[in-house]
Amino acid sequence: MTPELLAPAGSPEALRAAVDSGADAVYLGWGAFNARRGARNFSDEEFAQAVAWCHVRGARVFLTLNILLSDRELPAALEAARTASRLGVDAVLVQDWGLFGLLRHALPDLPLHASTQMSIFTSGGACEIAADGCERVVVARECSREDTAEICKNCPAEVEAFVHGALCMCYSGQCAMSALIGGRSGNRGRCAQPCRLPYGVNGAAKDRRPLSLKDSCMADHLGEMGDMGVACLKIEGRMKSPGYVAAVTEIYARLLEEGRKPTAQERETLERAFSRSGFTDAYWRGAKGPEMLGFRPENAGAAPDVESPRREVGRVPVRFICRVEAGSPCLLTAEDGDGHSVTVTGPAPEAARNRELTAEDLAARLGKTGGTPYRCEHVETVLGPGLSLSAAAVNALRREALEALSAARSQPPQRREQDAPPLPEIDCSEAEPRFTVSVVNAAQLTGGLLDFRPSRVYVPLELLAEVPSLPETEAEYCAVLPRVWRDRDEGQIRRWLDKARALGVTGLLLGNLGHFPLVRGGGWRLCGDYGLNVFNSRSLAYLREKGLESACLSFELRFSQIRDMRKLLPAEAIVYGRLPLMITENCLIQNSAGCRCDRPNFLNDRTGAAFPLLPAFGHRTEVENSRPLYLADRPDWLRLGLAYARLRFTTEAPEECARICRAYRDGGAPEGEFTRGLYQRGVE
């Protein structure tokens, strides 16, 4: 089966361009809760008109509600989804666990799609969200053909993959760089794109763009994507012009229709529409490296609108059955291929005075559907002899039938609506949090750190695989699972878990939905990490049902939001350390300076700030903030109802770890440069 082609619609004009150019479906933002809040998007009236207009033309409409939401925003987001469901929107894309659970209960018939912001890149993650009622999963852009094929084979839900448009350097849903540097959160639809700016690596000239990737172009791979079972091919670009949407959609629609690869002229058209130093398909090929890097010069200006040959307006095939018999009003039935059938009546025919009406004449007049969304596929007539019916009467009959058919096609489906389920009567808040610590290397596990008597010690699973033993402590050891991995890594991860258990580790720190099926039933105590993006009370309820015993809250929340959150699970917050800005499939160190991941490495910006680059599982990179979060001298975080407060050690030397622990025990003042994070100012 040919995959669905899904095009972006950042405005009503782009929506019309997408559908007229051959898109099977469009995705759009409406209201305040979508990941492209900088696009023009749609007013209430425009949104209602857009849904009906698309449905008449056989195109589906997906609403993006794919940002993290606070407790105060969830009721409005639910009402937006209710309205969209009543208007007949075909699905809603969601990132937030709390909103997902809320919609699943309150609007049980509304199809939900897992946004790429959910960070799903394994079969386990895809199957987990499918089991919770998700009908489609948008997989990470970093997935290779092998990764995608494996997910398609194993996941009962539909799989959607991006085929064209911008690539973020960071995994979607895991980027905090825009939020922490400028207060504009990518998880809230306000990304300022700091990845497109110049940087240096390890003190090199700050005139390169090591975080800026070329746009993706998968035009050569559509056939194999369809063959492996990808259900939907997605074009990125809700911030782009209608001309861009038309040009790109037109080409991809023709490639799918004709089962071929693009011509040289089509490749040129795609590049002229928009590109950053050309295109890349490296992730799909299982490759990465500096050849993927590209940028658009600051003086390039806006991309030109590229002329695209529009398709004929009539995209919906229709069949007519017309009865013209003496003494009776004429009848015209119009049928489409989706099961809709309407019948309208017209005047009774008159006796022919000169030339009688023939079946050929009647079919020719009914077939004139130009300027409508329909094309006449077949006309069947029942015509009595010696009769006459004016051309105006036939035209009016056809027009009324098509208007009635349009009304039937745009009729919203009947869907159940229920009240929002109440939150459980559970209170896991604490008068004062217990400390936890996380380390990245064995040297940091000193007596000075353990004398601090933390409640938990978080250690990377891959580090546990290398050490012969762990220092004795009253603290619980918890293994931190790799935040990014693939299906092919799961055998090794299970072997490492066996080694961790032998070392006395009893808890696991989970930062991705795919971790749950990987470790479920193993007798572990399960804790949630910051990668799960917990932003509201209902997210805690959702994760509690999945078996978590605690959860780390998003560090993009304000203290007031944390304080007011219902603690349906014991809640943890990071109160010290360099906060993670990005996790990247590309090794930024390898790309820029050759493989030297065993030494300190830094990303340098134009202000002189140095962002440490830490190696991550799978030869990936985690970018840390240039300054550590420091709150030891601020008592605010002690009164938020938290159960745990984490000191996150990354680049600190062992003696520095011990000093910071003492400072947090005693309320000591900061030394050197530091940040208060987002807990006071919050994010847009």
pLDDT of residue 296: 85
SS3 112: strand
Instruction: Report which DSSP code applies to 619.
Output: T
d(CA 350, CA 593): 88
- Taking residues 219-237, report their average pLDDT: 98
pLDDT of residue 489: 98
- Taking residues 469-490, report their average pLDDT: 97
pLDDT at 245 over 70: yes
pLDDT of residue 39: 66
Q: 419 pLDDT band (50/70/90 cuts)? A: very high
Residue whose C-alpha is closest to residue 33's, from 87, 83, 95: 95
Residue whose C-alpha is closest to residue 478's, from 447, 456, 498: 456
Output the six-digit token pair for 633: 């001298």
d(CA 101, CA 107): 10
Average pLDDT over the chain, rounded to whole?
Answer: 95
Question: Across the strands, what pairs with 577?
Answer: 629, 648
- Residue of higher predicted confidence among 591 and 549: 549
Q: Which helix (H) or strand (E) holds 270?
A: helix 264-273
* Percent of the chain residues past pLDDT 90, beyond the cut: 90
- Taking residues 409-420, report their average pLDDT: 97
Q: Are 476 and 455 in contact (CB under 8 A)?
A: yes
- Could you write out the DSSP letters of every residue in 41-102? -B-HHHHHHHHHHHHHTT-EEEEEE-S---TTTHHHHHHHHHHHHHHT--EEEE--HHHHHH
Q: 206 pLDDT band (50/70/90 cuts)? A: confident
Residue whose C-alpha is closest to residue 245's, from 164, 186, 167: 164
- Could you write out the DSSP letters of every residue in 666-682? HTPPP-SS-B-TTTTT-
User: What would the pLDDT profile of 73-113 be if each residue is shown by its tens digit?
Assistant: 999 999 999 999 999 999 999 999 999 999 999 999 999 99
Taken as a whole, the chain contains a residue count of 684
pLDDT of residue 594: 75
User: What would the pLDDT profile of 604-636 be if each residue is shown by its tens digit?
Assistant: 999 999 999 999 999 999 999 999 999 999 989
pLDDT at 152 over 80: yes
User: What would the pLDDT profile of 154-199 be if each residue is shown by its tens digit?
Assistant: 999 999 999 999 999 999 999 999 999 999 999 999 999 999 999 9
Inter-helix orientation angle 391-409/44-56, to 10°: 120
Output the six-digit token pair for 46: 């425009």
Q: Which helix (H) or strand (E) holds 495?
A: helix 490-502
Please classify residue 532 by burial: count the beta carbons closer than 10 Å to its beta carbon, then call 0-12 exposed, 13-18 middle and 19+ buried: buried
User: What would the pLDDT profile of 281-307 be if each residue is shown by its tens digit?
Assistant: 999 999 999 999 998 876 666 666 666
pLDDT of residue 307: 64
Question: Across the strands, what pairs with 436?
Answer: 456, 646
> CA dist 9 to 18, 243, 274, 429, Å?
7, 11, 16, 43
Which residues lie below 8 Å from residue 499, measured CB to CB, with a gap of 6+? 464, 465
Output the six-digit token pair for 627: 């300054």
Q: 510 pLDDT band (50/70/90 cuts)? A: very high
Please classify residue 191 by burial: count the beta carbons closer than 10 Å to its beta carbon, then call 0-12 exposed, 13-18 middle and 19+ buried: buried
d(CA 272, CA 253): 18
- Residue of higher predicted confidence among 180 and 203: 180
Out of 303-307, 437-441, 564-568, 594-598, pick the least confident.
Answer: 303-307
Tell me the whole-structure pTM to 2 decimals. Answer: 0.95
Please classify residue 549 by burial: count the beta carbons closer than 10 Å to its beta carbon, then call 0-12 exposed, 13-18 middle and 19+ buried: middle
DSSP H helices in 343-442 = 359-366, 391-409
d(CA 672, CA 346): 86
DSSP H helices in 174-234 = 177-182, 222-228
Please classify residue 277 by burial: count the beta carbons closer than 10 Å to its beta carbon, then call 0-12 exposed, 13-18 middle and 19+ buried: middle
Q: Are 303 and 274 in contact (CB under 8 A)?
A: yes
* Percent of the chain residues past pLDDT 70, beyond the cut: 97
CA angle (582, 586, 589) in 5-degree steps:
85
- Taking residues 430-434, report their average pLDDT: 97
Ordered strands of the 580-584 beta sheet: 200-201, 602-604, 610-616, 620-624, 580-584
Which residues lie below 8 Å from residue 98, measured CB to CB, with a gap of 6+? 69, 74, 535, 536, 537, 538, 539, 540, 541, 542
pLDDT of residue 593: 72
- Residue of higher predicted confidence among 299 and 46: 46
pLDDT of residue 673: 94
- Taking residues 396-405, report their average pLDDT: 98
pLDDT of residue 207: 78
Q: 311 pLDDT band (50/70/90 cuts)? A: low
pLDDT at 353 over 60: yes
pLDDT at 4 over 70: yes
pLDDT of residue 242: 94
Output the six-digit token pair for 132: 């919770």
User: What would the pLDDT profile of 363-396 be if each residue is shown by its tens digit?
Assistant: 999 999 999 999 999 999 999 999 999 999 999 9
